[in-house]
Structure 1
Amino acid sequence: MKASRRHALAKAIQLSLLVALPGFAAAQEAAPAKDATTLDTVQVTGTRIKKAEIESQVPVQTLNREDIERTGLTSIGDVVQELTGAGSALNTKFNSSGNFGFSPNGDGIGAGSAQVDLRHLGPKRVLVLVDGMRWVNESSASGVGAATDLNTIPLAIVERIEILEDGASSLYGSDAIAGVVNIITRRNFDGGQISLNYGQYGKGDGELQGVDLAWGFNTDRANLFLGLSYVDQDPVYSRDRAVSSFPVPGLGVETGSSATPNGRFIFNPPTASTACPLTDVDDDPSTPPVPFCNMTTPNGSSFPNGVRYPQDFIPFTGANRYNFARENMLLTPSKRMGAFGQFRYHFSDNVQGYVKALYNRRESVNQAAPEPIFLGAGAGTGNPWSEQITISRLNPYNPFGFDLTSIGPNANLDTIARRPIEGGPRVFEQQVDTKYIAAGVEGSFDVGDRTYFWDVNVASNRNEADQTNYGSYNVRNINIALGDPALCAATPGCVPLNIFGGPGTITPAMLQWISPVVRDRSEQKLQTFTANFSGDLFNLWAGPLSFAAGYEYRKYEGFYRPDPITVAGYYNGTQSLPTQGEYDVNEAYVELNLPLIKEGAFGKSLDLSLAGRYSDYSTFGGQFTPKYGLRWQVADEFLLRTTYAEGFRAPSIGELFGSASRADLQLSDPCLTSITGAPPTGNRANCAALGVPAGAAQANSQISVQTGGNADLEPETARSFTAGFVYSPAWAAGVPWSDKFDFEVTYYRHSLEGAVQAIDAQTQLNLCVQTLDPLYCGGITRSSIGGISSFENKLTNLGSIKTSGWDIDFFWTLPETSWGQFKINWQNTWVTQYEAVGAAGQIQPRKPGVEVNDSAIPEWTSNATLSWKKNNWNASWTIRHISELTEICQASALDSPYCDNPVTGENKLSAITYHDLQLGYRFELLKGLQITGGVNNVADKDPPVCLSCSLNGYDASTYDIPGGRFFYLRADLRF
């Protein structure tokens, strides 16, 4: 049965939308004759009832292989992220490991992964199935994630992708709050196929190569499919695009890092000098000015024979900052290798068994600028080895002749910031292995004139990830190497460290002492058992009462094991502790489809669906979720449908058991002068009460925030509502200008209570300054000169998230003529509401039309495709539109020429429209050779500049990469 494209009313359509009976997948080609008895009944996503000629009751979108291949993409994640109903999610355009640290969600950053977000409710609220079975959550060696990594599933083995855009916890259990993505694998395949892919960006980088092999056979009783896949994506570097070559576009190094190759030194010396003049460092007029150093050495200068104080030093200004952006990546390299196979055997006409297995390896890399070293009371790292330090006057490289210390009554050191470019960039290499095996038996039997269906399934799924980090530092060894030379001499391997002499003065011997290779590991396992039963119970006045019922058992296990130096607290980078946990769940569900009216004065039919699931979790107990739906077939041409569902999401292992870890977030401190000199925006009296002296400046726009799990978390609960219609007019079917025309409208509303997340860190900081309330200020501490030295931002059950909007879609198939046949698909999503409120009533900054925290909620997204076929030729033109957004310019970006209104601090991200073209030709060679070429982003549109985004000057989850015209060529040979 071939997949269709959401034409719910067309009776000729064969809806092969899976899915809930695990192990049941629709065929790519005609099924064997022996299977005709059982496969004349299909199952629709959003219901577990198998019903002949059933039509969709819920909004489901299907992407078949033709739709997928039309995109020119090679990742499932990239494909689904282009859907109009998709929100912001990780992908390979996020250079995540070295720059974001750990997610504020407490589950780590899935470096190199690709996720899916529906309705802007977050990837962890989307349930991902493969052939109806739950897929294991990601492991990317930086935590125990709550979302699924779609890069663990080769796109080459996919027959189609089905997206249920509705809450479905009553049918599928936890995580299905925002919807369900079900990936159907290829099964009935006769012969072989080899596919070659090649692509490259117009600027000559980002080369992509891939090869896929498929082979299978069908007999009267058996079928086998085997698939191999290889994809190799090269990187694109930030320095090779104008918009991403500086931290904030248009400002050069002014908003770069204060950790420079020449170092930044902030301390109070015993006496004033030309480099350290007398300065009023507090708000007390009764205290005299004191000598104060905020200095560096000239850019690029090096003092291998020793720097002299004060003559070699100059005041530190924005011109001395370091441009860290050039070492980042716009597109991270990713190599994926996968093997998949499934075998089915028909024991009889009504009983069949299957076994399937998958192995996938992902090798990916993130890269960031050389790792900065921050030392002193104002370092803000939360690490005692870096914050409690003494640089001995006896250190052979100390030019000052006195101790620099942040400890005790003689403390005089606030911050030293040095970036050892001698050690090269930070490189994070991930290797993720996914192993999956499943088996089951399914069948049917007749009782009288009724047919009943059953299946029993088991599956085991595991993700294992290793991350190796080169270019980071051991802050304990740095502490020892800067301290008393006698202690260093007594410590095996220690070499005194020179952080004062400028670039090139940290020698290989010094690097060997302070530069470890950091290895982290994580793993997640999911084991499932399911049993399902479906059929008709008895006849009612309007037709048979249909039902489905079943039982499901799942066990989750996961751990994250950081490198021993991280556990010991010696790691200079993002800090974390081990995480380990497990839980299991027993579930039972029942679903009924009750026909209320048969054909008559009130239309063709009216059906009521009822579903309920009870889930018993070992972590928090029981939960019941119901769902109700009405489907009114008013006429052959017109269908009305509506659903109401209650749902929930159980906290994940990382959210429950995740240990304390650090995220480096782009924040603007209201109490401090910005790094570009913009004055503080916070209440001066309140800032003074928080210990911030007048004139204090923010040293770095990235502030370290402590995150972590919470064992007391409760499940999130949700309510979902959809209502809409499908109109397939007869006057537009089989006429000279139209073969078929379908028009679909769906209104959706989701309301989420007790959302598991931390309050937005910028919001917490702003509220602390505005209110001085311990609820917000309790986890924020400051150094003696006002900078933030620690910031706790832990997970909790926040207040609520509410979102609503409209999907409006058109599908038009034109008659075939001498010019060929044309089809037009036009899909649109309007988001009319998104509001997140914290537990204490804090309004979170996300809403429609706003860019915040490297993600956006466009008010309108639209995809339109014109496709054409004539004989052996085919072509398509796809238009992707994203409406305009606004953002708050960070204080560091107010002076940027891209900040539209520095007075209000707002910047507009203009609407953008991408155009993709594709042309193909089929040669009559063997079973067919298809050659396809295409260009994505034909007009070479650059994304709008984002001044608040953490990396690369644009939102990588919403737009194509800058300078992103992408050319590709694909050859498919069937034999």
Structure 2
Amino acid sequence: MKIKTKISTLAVAISAQLLAANSMAIAQEQEVKEDQAIELIMVTGSFVRRSENFESPSPLAVVDSVAIDAIGAKSIGDITQTLTINTGAENTPDAFTQNATAGTSNMNLRGLGVASTLILLNNKRQVVTAQPNNAGVNFVDTSSLIPMIALNRMEIVKDGASALYGSDAVAGVVNFITKRNYEGTQISLDYQDGAHGDNKEYTVQGLWGTVGDDSSIMAAISYTNRSPLFTGDRRLSRPQDDTSSLGSPGSYFLNGTPFIDPTGCTEFGGSEILLAPSGTVPGLEIGFCGFDFGRTYSFVPDESRLSTFVQAKKQLTDNIEWTTEFSTARNRAERGGSPTFPILTFPTVPADHPGNPFGADVSYFGREIGNAGDGTSFPGDPANTESDTFRFSTMLQGELDTGFWEISYTAARNNYLFTVNDTLAQEFQNALRGFGGQGCDPLTGTAGVGPCEYFNPFATSFTVLPNSQNVIDSFTGREEIDSKSNLEVVEAFVSTELFEMDGGSAGLAFGAQYRYQDLTQDYDSLANQDRFSFVIGNADIYGEQDVYALFGELALPVSDDMDIQIALRYEDYGGTTGDTVDPKFAVSWRATEDFSLRGSISTSFRAPSIFQRDGGGTSLNQMVDPLTGAAAFAADRTSGNDQLVPEESTAYNLGFSLEPVDSWSIEVDYWNFDFTDLIIKENFQAVLNAEPQNPERVIRAGDPLNGPLLQVLTTYVNASSLETSGLDLVSSYQLETEVGTFTPSISATYILAYDLVDPQSGPIDGVGLRNFSNIGVSTPEMRANLGLNWKHDSFSANIFARYIDSYSDDQNCADGTVFSAACTQGYKDVDSHLTWDAQVNIDLGGVFETEGAYVLSLGGVNLTDEEPPQLFTNAGFDSKVHDPRGRQIYARLAIEF
């Protein structure tokens, strides 16, 4: 058993407001009736109930429904993008770095990874997506939680929380809390129109609830439809950033030298990429016929979302309440792509091919469909995602004389289907030899006769020797990955008072949890046989995981001014993953009525995922074979590693709260995370360089030691570390005037350190760096939101300025060349980014004195239509930091009666 004892002696005393304001929160007065009894509540970050005005020793931020409405958010991804504590989340679909997860969204607190923030729904876990991201990480899809209309608030614990909640709470916890005991009916209609292309979005939501003497029920439904925005609608990249050497027209290798298709290139929409002066070989040009593949990809997919949520409560006895929840999410997304993928298997065009102008066997370097004869692109061949999420949770909660108990069961499932077209390698080769066509048998047919057809890869296919759809269909297949992820959680705990202290009753909570998770990925039969020329394929995947946990928490009100929290959790994964113990110690001290301090220190962990332990994938990559020094396209086949150990983190937080004058609050926190044993995928080139003749890691054709390179076998390893620290600032001031209440606010995060140790790149100072060439994420040094809210009678308005600092792009040099060790002028700068959002609200019900409430909101995001800073890379912007959509104007009508 690993006992983490990195916690050194640290005497800190601290205190914070229970619900620390977030950048979007609008300061509001709380009305408390004098004759109302104090309600005890359980907040995120503790299993012990406290009074409503309790000050948490952990840094806790809250985004309530008022703040969510104030930014015009129509999805949780819209909220995430504005959080300054979020770095590197994948909420903007980027086909180049988010291959199969279009239509999903996630959280990435502190840039520690999309699976290092624990996502809860009403204090209970949610299932992860069955489809991992490009890094092989399964995450909770926040777009598949609940309808936004049912969301009451988000509570965010901003320090390590594994001592309370277990695995994944490395960077913190985000708890989505729904409305409760709602009575009435609410309908909202949203419409949003983008400044570019045909990008529009509308959302229809409904909420209904009723409360009886001993029961209540609430139901919500939401439907969103979003039309696509293509890269061709708002081209952010340079042509060379999205130009492939593999096009159609393509290039042909003869005796190891590439030649541009002599029957045509530029006249059919290609671009010549010369590798030698024109005329070096009479009648031929050495090089490639470039293809611009970037015009048909999606910045925003064609997307629809339908989600439902039902919550029912029943008071079984005076002391026992039963709560049951059921939710569904049906998300569909179609992401545009290039007309077809490149063919990287170097198929042979025989000398006797009727269109072959070389008179000799040549190797084809291109794709089945690229440019049309008029120089425009064929419509992009889309990739489709279908995600269906189901969740059921039931809970019994009972009152004790001095506390309460809770027993719960949660079951959730995600079904995820990803489909994309690709060229079938052997069938394409058959077609080049004259045995194409869906009715052709290569064993009995005759090349180019009857049902057997030639595929013409040359530019003459646009003119005198066109290809039939029949021959194209014969070598085009569709890869399907049908994935399923299951989660079951049984949890029970008791919270009770122990004894009296100077500040009140000491509280104790203790309990146990059992979690079961499994993951299945079922590839189609063609993929099982590695039949595709680009996506290749993969074997089916299955894995499961059982976790047993025990946890406890002490809440000690030492005095009226000081509270101490001590927590400890044990989790056992069995097998080689083993078990772990994580403690937490937190203190708050109210030094004066206007000034308080808080501090916490804890250890956290993230266990290897099922995919990292039992899964894997295959991709085709360009590699350099150290035996020959020549470039070759070979498969990188990654398999799981059952010897992985959990990632571990030590985190501490120091902060203070200050109210220098009435209605002016200031919150400052210093945070530090030391993350070790990070799980990463091995670099295929590093494996190849280290062991080029190891047949257990490098697969070669024919001679296992010296033959042509076919595959490199990689896996996941514990290989890296990351230490990050920084400062959070949150402040707001409420000013009452005759013309209304004005509330200026600021929320900012300044990152002091983001120090990485990468297996290939070594030590990296990652602050202010894109971290393209290492394991980190883009890390601008500072992000800040400045807001101003105004409210008067039935009218309100707000405006936000959102600033993202500049940073350096380690993929490109400052002189515009691709990164190399000779970047004498340093890296290229990614410019800072400032956008403006605004909103006006009119309570029509108040204006016209109606019975129901009718609120009309008009607003805009990025009102000045600022372009995201340009990167010299595919798509032309950083999808982990910036939004490519530009100005978005929206209107919302919310009706409640």
Task: Report the TM-score range of the alignment, normalised by the length of the smaller protein.
Answer: 0.7 to 0.9
Query: 1: CA distance between counterparts of 2:501 and 2:397?
Result: 28
Partners of 2:192 and 2:749 lie apart in 1 by 30
Residue 653 (structure 1) aligned with residue 610 (structure 2): yes
Shift of 1:779: 6.0
SS across alignment from 2:340: coil
In 1, the alpha carbon distance for the partners of 2:525 and 2:585 equals 52
**Partners in 2 of 1:888 and 1:401 — Cα distance?**
45
- Residue type at the aligned position of 2:655: G
Please state how far the C-alpha of 1:127 moved relative to its aligned partner: 0.5
Q: Is residue 659 of structure 2 the alignment partner of residue 741 of structure 1?
A: no
Alignment partner of 2:611: what SS? helix
Aligned to 1:843: 763
Residue 526 (structure 1) shift: 0.4
Q: Does 1:927 align with 2:852?
A: yes
Partner of residue 431, structure 1: 386
Taking the aligned partners of 2:132 and 2:676, their CA distance within structure 1 comes to 30
Question: Whole-Å Cα distance in 1 between the matches of residues 760 and 476 of structure 2?
Answer: 44
Map of 2:546 onto structure 1? 584
Conserved in 1, the CA contact under 8 Å of 2:842 and 2:855? yes
TM-fit CA distance, 1:663? 6.8
Cα distance, 1:295 vs. partner? 5.0
1:628 — aligned with what?
585
Q: 1:779 to 1:55 in 2, by over 3 A?
A: farther
Counterpart position of 1:176: 169
Q: Is 2:248–2:459's contact at 8 Å kept on the other side of the alignment?
A: no
Match of residue 567 from structure 1:
528
| Residue 375 of structure 2: aligned partner | none
- Residue by residue, what CA displacement relative to the aligned partner does 1:775-827 show, whole Å, maximum 9, x if unpaired? 9x97699999x999756553210131111111111121222x22101112211
Q: Which residue does 1:644 correspond to in 2?
A: 601
The match for 1:457 is 408
Say whether residues 1:595 and 2:557 are aligned partners. yes
Find the aligned partners of 2:21 and 2:657 in 1 and give their Cα distance: 18
Q: Give the structure 2 partner of residue 601 of structure 1.
A: none
**Residue of structure 1 equivalent to 2:291:** 322
Question: Using the alignment, how far apart are the partners of 2:335 and 2:815 within structure 1?
Answer: 26
Is contact 1:759–1:844 with CA below 8 Å preserved after alignment?
no
1:235-265 Cα offsets, whole Å, 9 max, x none, are: 11101113237352xxxxxx61111111111
Kindly state the Cα deviation for residue 621 of structure 1 after the two structures are TM-superposed: 2.6
Q: 1:141 to 1:641 in 2, by over 3 A?
A: closer
Query: What does residue range 496-575 of structure 1 map to in structure 2 within 5 Å?
Result: 496-502=454-460, 504=462, 505-540=466-501, 543-575=504-536
Partner in structure 1 of residue 244 of structure 2:
257
Q: How far does the alpha carbon of each residue in 1:144-188 deviate from its partner, in whole angstroms, 9 at most, with x for none?
A: 852111111232321111111111001000000011111011222
- Relative to structure 1, is the Cα distance of residues 71 and 150 closer, same or farther in structure 2, using a 3 angstrom cutoff? same
Shift in alpha-carbon separation, 1:788–1:335, aligned structure 2, 3 A: farther
Q: Is 1:196 the equivalent of 2:165? A: no
User: Which has the higher mean CA deviation after the structures are superposed, 854-863 or 179-188?
Assistant: 854-863
Q: Which one-letter code corresponds to 2:429 in the other structure?
A: N
Match of 1:129 in 2: 120
Write 1 or 2 for the structure with the bigger share of strand: 2
Partner of 1:728 in structure 2?
Answer: 659
Partner of 1:43: 42
Q: May I ask how many residue pairs the two structures share in their alignment? A: 833
Q: Deviations over 1:210-253 (max 9, x none)?
A: 100111112232221110100111111101113237352xxxxx
- Which residue of 820, 833, 855 corresponds with 2:740? 820
Work out whether residues 259 and 372 of structure 1, in 8 Å CA contact, stay in contact via their aligned partners in 2.
no
Report Cα offsets for 1:258-315 as digits up to 9, x if no partner: 11111111121xxxxxxxxxxxx7xxxxxxxxx8756554225579xxxxxx999641
Cα deviations by residue, 1:665-694 (Å, 9 ceiling, x for unpaired)? xx9x8x8xxxxxxxxxxxxxxx9x65337x
Q: Secondary structure at the match of 2:336?
A: strand
Q: Given residue 547 of structure 2, which amino acid in structure 1 is its aligned partner?
A: V
Partner Cα distance (1:30, 1:225) in 2 = 25
Q: Please give the residue correspondences for 1:237-386 in structure 2 after superposition, counting only pairs within 5 Å.
A: 237-244=230-237, 246-248=239-241, 256-268=243-255, 293=259, 296-299=262-265, 314-317=284-287, 320-374=289-343, 379=344, 386=345
Matched residues in 2 for 1:954 and 1:787: separation?
37
Aligned-partner SS, 2:339: coil
Q: Which residue of 2 aligns with 1:877?
A: 799
Instruction: Give the letter for the 1:298 counterpart.
Output: G
Q: C-alpha distance in 2, partners of 1:787/1:887?
A: 35
**Structure 2 counterparts to residues 409-428 of structure 1, below 5 A:** 413=363, 416-421=365-370, 424-428=379-383
Aligned residue for 2:442, secondary structure, equals helix
Matches of residues 760-771 of structure 1 in structure 2 within 5 Å? none
Change (3 A) 1:773 1:464: closer
Amino acid at match of 1:82: T
- The amino acid that maps onto 2:168 is D
Q: 2: CA distance between counterparts of 1:652 and 1:494?
A: 48
Residue deviations 1:888-942, cap 9 Å, x none?
A: 344899359x99x974352111111111011010012332100001111112111
- Change in 2 beyond 3 A, CA 1:242/1:783: farther
1:156 aligns with 2:125: no
Question: Aligned residues: percent identity?
Answer: 24
Q: Which residue of 1 aligns with 2:784?
A: 862
Is 1:944 the equivalent of 2:869?
yes
Q: Residue type of the partner of 2:142?
A: L
In structure 1, what is the Cα distance between the partners aligned to 2:40 and 2:430?
A: 72
Q: Which moved more, 1:325-334 or 1:705-714?
A: 705-714
The answer as to whether partners of 1:295 and 1:313 remain within 8 angstroms in 2 is: no
- Checking the alignment, whether the CA contact within 8 Å between 2:259 and 2:286 is kept in structure 1 is no
Alpha-carbon offset, residue 552 of structure 1 = 0.8
Are the equivalent residues in 1 in contact too, given 2:19–2:60 (CA < 8 A)? no
Greater CA deviation, 342-351 or 800-809?
342-351
Instruction: Measure, in 1, the Cα distance between the counterparts of 2:79 and 2:237.
Output: 24
Distance in structure 2 (CA, Å) of the matches to 1:535 and 1:552: 18
Q: Give the letter aligned to residue 182 of structure 1.
A: N
Q: Return the alpha-carbon distance in structure 1 between the equivalents of residues 366 and 702 of structure 2.
A: 15
Cα pair distance change 1:903/1:458, threshold 3 Å: same
Letter in structure 1 aligned against 2:442: C
Q: Is the CA contact (8 Å cut-off) linking 2:405 and 2:492 kept in structure 1?
A: yes
Cα shift at 1:77? 2.1
Question: 1:608-619 alignment to 2 at 5 Å?
Answer: 608-619=564-575
Secondary structure at the counterpart of residue 308 of structure 2 = strand
Deviation track 1:721-756 (CA, whole Å, cap 9, x = no partner) reads 111111123xx11xxxxxx11111111111111101
Structure 2 partner of 1:474 = 424
Listed as ranges, the matches of 1:217-228 within 5 Å are 217-228=210-221
Contact 1:420 1:503 in 2 (8 A): no
| 1:17-36 to 2 correspondences below 5 Å | none
Q: Is 2:886 the counterpart of 1:973? A: no
User: Are the equivalent residues in 2 in contact too, given 1:95–1:367 (CA < 8 A)?
Assistant: no
Closer, same or farther: CA 748–323 of 1 in aligned 2, 3 Å: same
* SS of equivalent residue, structure 1 residue 961: coil
Give, in angstroms, the shift of residue 443 of structure 1. Answer: 2.0
Q: 1:15 to 1:418 in 2, by over 3 A?
A: closer
Cα shift readout 1:575-628 (whole Å, capped 9, x = no counterpart): 3322111111111100012233x2xxxxx5223221111111134232111111
1:302/1:42 CA distance change after superposition, 3 Å: closer
Letter in 1 for 2:335: N
- Equivalent in the alignment of 1:286: none
Q: Find the residue that maps to 1:243 and give its secondary structure.
A: coil
Distance 2:724 2:632 in 1: 38
Report deviation, 1:364: 0.6
Distance across 1 between alignment mates of 2:258 and 2:789:
69
Shift of 1:141: 8.3
Which residue does the alignment assign to 1:960? 883
Partner of 1:81: 81
Q: Structure 2 stretches of 5 or more lacking a match? A: 1-13, 23-29, 270-279, 373-377
Is contact 1:101–1:574 with CA below 8 Å preserved after alignment? no
Q: Structure 1: any 5+ residue segments left out of the alignment?
A: 1-6, 18-28, 103-108, 249-254, 269-280, 282-290, 304-309, 380-385, 405-412, 599-603, 672-686, 734-739
